[in-house]
């Protein structure tokens, strides 16, 4: 397959969370064109069986390659990356980058006391993907992890502050506070939108790590190494698709990402136009 630099990068998530990764991609590489699919009709992924999430991931990534000519796929969803990165990398005709490895690398770099934490969906934490990714860094750290069911739904409902979310965060993060972690990876791309709440619960001394920037750096390095970058003077275009309510996605998405989120089109399997 011939991939030209002008082709877009394809990015997907279960919903709005991957916009945190889009922000970093846009900021780092404004010349790259991007196509984003948020699978809001089928979110959340975090409580679904791994095989089902894998099927969704294959559908979305395949659509990005075949319907949109994506030259590279960014799995901007930890849950999907945790269970589907291998199958995507071995079946797609383009390179694939997930958020798990970049996140783990960033996490072990910032710790001082060697006690690190990761939070994610039930699916991500149960997959053990972060245990393996942190082990692969060979850093001498102790990893504590906690699933945070409910966090994603709060973000998708645009409820990122208030007593309810604070109460849930206090309960779910208690084991990580007790473990004395000094750095905490937000192992779900939705969670950066809850950073103020998570920071308030964990305390100012704990560094919150998001995988978005590190993933964008990994994308840039891969584009360079494969010589498929967009021309420096190109002006990147961005296209957004949602499998659910496109107006709701546009309204909340614009608030979360910023003005780069223009119109949103409907994504349907095999017909994303
Ligand atoms: N943003 C997805 C992730 O990073 C959320 C998964 C979900 O839909 O539950 O895991």
Query: For 108-159, what is each residue's pLDDT tens digit?
Result: 999 999 999 999 999 999 999 999 999 999 999 999 999 999 999 999 999 9
Residue 102 clears pLDDT 70, i.e. is over it: yes
Range of the domain at 189: 101-211
Token couple for 102: 């970049």
Regarding whether 218 and 173 lie in a shared domain, the answer is no
- Cα(17) to ligand 1 centroid in Å equals 7
Q: CB–CB of 147/122 below 8 Å?
A: yes
Ligand 1 contact via 79 beta carbon (within 6 Å): yes
Tell me the mean pLDDT in the region 78-85: 97
Regarding whether 253 and 218 lie in a shared domain, the answer is yes
Known catalytic membership, residue 148: no
Ligand 1 contact via 19 beta carbon (within 6 Å): no
Taking Cα atoms as reference points, which of 41, 87, 93, 104 lies closest to residue 71?
93
Known catalytic membership, residue 188: yes
As to burial, measured by CB atoms within 10 angstroms (0-12 exposed, 13-18 middle, 19+ buried), residue 153 is: middle
Ligand 1 contact via 45 beta carbon (within 6 Å): yes
Ligand 1 contact via 241 beta carbon (within 6 Å): no
pLDDT of residue 11: 98
Cα distances from 25 to residues 21, 122, 217, 222, in angstroms, run 6, 27, 8, 13
Distance, C-alpha 26 to centroid of its chain: 14
Residue 43 clears pLDDT 60, i.e. is over it: yes
Regarding whether 185 and 125 lie in a shared domain, the answer is yes
Query: How much is the mean pLDDT over the chain?
Result: 95
In the set 188, 218, 228, 230, the catalytic residue is 188
Ligand 1 contact via 48 beta carbon (within 6 Å): no
Number of domains in the chain: 2
Tell me the mean pLDDT in the region 198-224: 96
Place 57 in a pLDDT band, splitting at 50, 70 and 90. very high
Residue 191 clears pLDDT 90, i.e. is over it: yes
Is the residue at 130 inside a domain?
Answer: yes
CB atoms within 10 A of CB 88: 24
32 φ, ψ (degrees, to nearest 5): -85, 135
Measured distance CA(71)–CA(9) in Å, rounded: 6
Is the residue at 271 inside a domain?
Answer: no
- Cα(109) to ligand 1 centroid in Å equals 24
pLDDT of residue 261: 95
Residue 84 clears pLDDT 90, i.e. is over it: yes
For the CA of 80, the nearest atom of ligand 1: 10
Q: Angle at which helices 19-28 and 212-225 pack, to 10 degrees?
A: 50
Is the residue at 129 inside a domain?
Answer: yes
Write the CATH number for 261.
Answer: 3.40.50.1860
Give 177-188 pLDDT, tens digit per residue. 999 999 999 999
The vertex-227 CA angle with 221 and 231, nearest 5°, equals 95
Measured distance CA(138)–CA(129) in Å, rounded: 15
Measured distance CA(156)–CA(41) in Å, rounded: 12
Taking Cα atoms as reference points, which of 214, 15, 202 lies closest to residue 99?
214
CB atoms within 10 A of CB 130: 26
- Residue count of the chain: 273
pLDDT of residue 269: 76
Query: Which residue out of 11, 12, 13, 48 has the highest number of ligand 1 atoms within 8 Å of its CB and is therefore the one to mutate?
Result: 13
Q: CB–CB of 114/141 below 8 Å?
A: yes
Regarding whether 142 and 105 lie in a shared domain, the answer is yes
Which parts of the chain are beta strand (E)? Answer: 9-13, 34-38, 72-75, 96-98, 115-120, 142-147, 183-186, 207-210, 238-242, 264-266
Residue 273 clears pLDDT 80, i.e. is over it: no
Asked if the bond preceding 265 is cis, omega within 30° of 0, the reply is no
Residue 13 clears pLDDT 50, i.e. is over it: yes
Ligand 1 contact via 39 beta carbon (within 6 Å): no
Q: What is the DSSP letter of 190?
A: T
Regarding whether 219 and 93 lie in a shared domain, the answer is yes
């Amino acid at each position: 397959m011939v991939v030209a630099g002008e082709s877009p990068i394809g990015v997907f998530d279960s919903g709005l969370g991957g916009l945190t990764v889009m922000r970093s991609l846009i900021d780092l590489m404004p010349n790259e064109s991007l196509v984003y699919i948020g699978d809001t009709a089928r979110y959340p992924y975090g409580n679904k069986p791994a095989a089902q999430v894998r099927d969704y991931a294959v559908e979305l990534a395949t659509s990005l390659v075949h319907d949109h000519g994506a030259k590279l796929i960014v799995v901007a969803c930890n849950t999907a990356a945790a269970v589907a990165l291998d199958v995507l990398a071995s079946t797609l005709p383009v390179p694939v980058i997930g958020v798990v490895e970049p996140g783990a690398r960033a996490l072990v770099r910032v710790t001082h006391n060697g006690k690190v934490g990761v939070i994610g969906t039930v699916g991500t934490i149960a997959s053990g993907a972060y245990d393996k990714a942190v082990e692969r860094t060979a850093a001498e750290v102790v990893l504590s992890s906690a699933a945070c069911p409910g966090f994603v739904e709060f973000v998708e409902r645009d409820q990122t502050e208030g007593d309810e979310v604070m109460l849930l965060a206090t309960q779910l993060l208690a084991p990580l506070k007790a473990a004395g972690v000094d750095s905490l990876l937000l192992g779900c791309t939705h969670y950066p939108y809850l950073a103020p709440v998570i920071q308030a619960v964990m305390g100012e001394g704990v560094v919150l790590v998001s995988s978005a920037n590190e993933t964008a750096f990994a994308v840039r390095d891969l584009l360079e190494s494969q010589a498929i970058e967009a021309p420096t003077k190109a002006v990147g275009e961005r296209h957004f698709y949602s499998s659910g309510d496109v107006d709701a996605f546009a309204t909340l998405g614009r608030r979360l990402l910023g003005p780069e989120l223009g119109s949103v089109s409907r994504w349907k399997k095999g017909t994303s136009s």
